[in-house]
Structure 1
Amino acid sequence: MDGTILLADDDRTIRTVLTQALTRAGCRVHATGSLQQLLRWAEEGRGDLVVTDVMMPDGNGLDLVPAIAKARPGLPVIVISAQNSIVTAIRATEAAVFDYLPKPFDLPDLMVRVRAGLSARPRAEMPPSAAPAPAPDPAAALIGHAPVMQALFRTVARVVNTDLAVILAGEPGTGRSTLAQALHDLSARRGAALVRLTAADAEESFAARMAEARGGTLLIEDPAGWAAAAQSRLAGLIEAGAGADRAPRLLATTGPAPEEDAASGTLRPDLYYRLAGMTLMVPPLRARLDDLPALVPLLLGRAGHGGFTLSGEALAALRAHPFPGNLRELENILRRLALTAATTTIQAAEVAAALDGAPVRRTTPPAAAGRLSDSVEQHLQRYFDLHGHDLPPPGLYDRVLNEIERPLIQIALDACGGNQLRCAELLGINRNTLRKKVNDLNIEVTRRRRVM
């Protein structure tokens, strides 16, 4: 390789390693821990390629890209970042960087990308985005350093602001609905509604629901599980509305093999081809176990248990589990552990007991059969007893209510076959209230939901 590299990273070790590797490859390197110094070098005309971190002491590397492009049109920029989220990948794409690489990365991989950047023709400056990238929504956060997740993020970044219909395929519990929410929230359509269409919606309401989604996004949940008549009705409405003013963007969740569903007739082929502008495969948790160290605190915090951590041995015990229920199973296990752990540092034995389904050892006699309040009292008393002379972490009221509400709604929906109207009547709440809780709690609703 031949060229001058402008390198910016606040980690001195990374600067040293990359400087040595690039120098051995034949490049000249100017390295700094400051974004302002990097910009000055670019403005002075130095460098043939930029390699920059995102989070720096004096700013955000992605925010600097437009200034570099203005000073040096066509200067390739490679972004490296430990912020391994879908938002970072989308912002890198919007900033028209030459390439994006998550940390930690393989040095040979970076060298290949540097070589490609030095060999590339000058790149035309891309127009700025119509609107600044939105702040990430913790409720829809998607993170992942695993290669399968980074590949997914790169594809999402390319399609997020298109009108292409997208199928989100994967096993139950992998986060397909969360990804759909992110595709909406991170797109130019985020000012309009994301409307969910499920098997529980009557065929007569399809047109109204599609009208509600005008200018926004229509998420069709598990259409392969719908009755044939409902699939036919939906396919006809989609065809009739194609090209209409402010037609909604179509997203659909399916199982891991939508092509096979279409071939077998479980999913009507005419509906499948209207939805499959692109298929995004959402990987199972067992394919991305390297993400567990980041996923565990995220899910604990989202459930209101941010004060809890896992020991190294406890994390290793989790990693050995196959997770047939994917992220949903992981989240339920972590919620249960946060309520039953002896301290705020969860240990391997506690994880093993939770994974094995071991019975909880009670400190008081079992509750009388048939009285829910007695069972809850016994469980809460054990939770307090496990903390000895200390009190549990603050926020107990909301944590306990959250623990009860989610399984109550899930079990009630299962009992009603996914029919939200019947479920709302069973629970004694308004249907709109139920729909909001289903969305807020990220509960996936299908005609025949699987209980993990």
Structure 2
Amino acid sequence: MSAHVLVVDDDRDMLRLLSMRLGAAGYRVTAVESAEAALTQLAVERPQLVVSDVQLPGKDGLALYDEIRARHPALPVILLTAHGTIPDAVEATSRGVFTYLTKPFDGKELLEKIAQALALAAPEGEAVPAQESWREAIVSRSTRMAELLAEAKLVAASDASILIRGESGTGKELLAQAIHKASVRATRPFVAVNCGAIPEALLESELFGHVKGAFTGAVANHRGLFQAADGGTLFLDEIGDMPLPLQVKLLRVLQERSVRPVGSAQAVPVDVRIISATHRDLDEAMAAGQFREDLYYRLNVVTLTLPTLAERREDIPLLANHFLARLSVKYGKRLNGFAPEALKALATASWPGNVRQLYNVVEQVCALATTPLVPLALVQRALRVPSVEVMSYAEARHRFERDYLVGLLKLTDGNVADAARLAERNRTEFYRLLQKHGLTPGLFRNDGHVAD
């Protein structure tokens, strides 16, 4: 169904021109010649957007905007202004008008602004059709995501191993779950493990299991995650953080389709589809000797790359309203949506933490909101406050570890033996940590070449 636009202008020629242009662009247009007529029309049927001239007989366009804001706070308004009323229009944008255009305006620019305003004001959208229920948890209307989901559904039908690439917070696990739901394994378990969040000493036992007495604390047999996912899908998140010794064992499991629990002499057959994910550049990791090439080609039969949130901006209003609807239930509040200028601020923010950061921002404004419509000031406050949740546990640990090593090397003037002693680690293990983070001790010696 085409969007409904209410156009207000006392110049009949301009009104006719606007109606023709918008009608040709596929919009349903209602044209009126005064603010009073516009308010009457709004009482009959609410449009998705109002385009109004500033200079009108009786109430002017700014007064009309104030009344629209009072009655329909989420309805976006675009003002058309002559040169003399530009200061008023600029001031109006600070009060929430979506944008203003000066006469004579470019027809293409007008259509672009209308499309942007409608995208921000668009409702959450229709329910996902039954045949598309596999991806109902993924909220999107962008072309970029539509293409990715079409490809994901295609590869879901096979049993090929899939590598999902994408920055932290883009939704790699959500996509993996959707692929599992679209596959023939949908009725079997989906098991997820973050390879960077589990200590190296425990990861092997978690993946492959162990038998009673295999090590101190192993008081009973333990089924690993491979066995837990038998017949279904195992999602290995942050595969790039998996230690090299474990990479060898994982490769053997994929080749032999069986696991050997720690401490056991007997292998257990498993039937598991592997989906892995990483935010790291695995090509660089292979070149640095940190990731096995043979394992890479086993895991990377098909690659799917998730776009950043900044690369799918048309999804931001949809996601923000979706999260607000969910979180308002959690916080027991009646929240109707975002003010147009608040939604505009969300849509134009940088989002280094991607969808995860957007969720955190919406949760903060939801917790603090005192009015049914979330105002711009609350969104601006949330965007200014850095949120630790934006960084995953694995990323935080990786950053701390590197900063700690850099601090030790600076303190000891690049002397590995002294640094290892301070860290209470043997020199071999310390060298391994330095290699993991690409740190060269010689650069920290006091000869003018100190690492950044």
The TM-score normalised by the length of structure 2 is: 0.49
- TM-score after normalising by structure 1: 0.49
Larger radius of gyration: 2
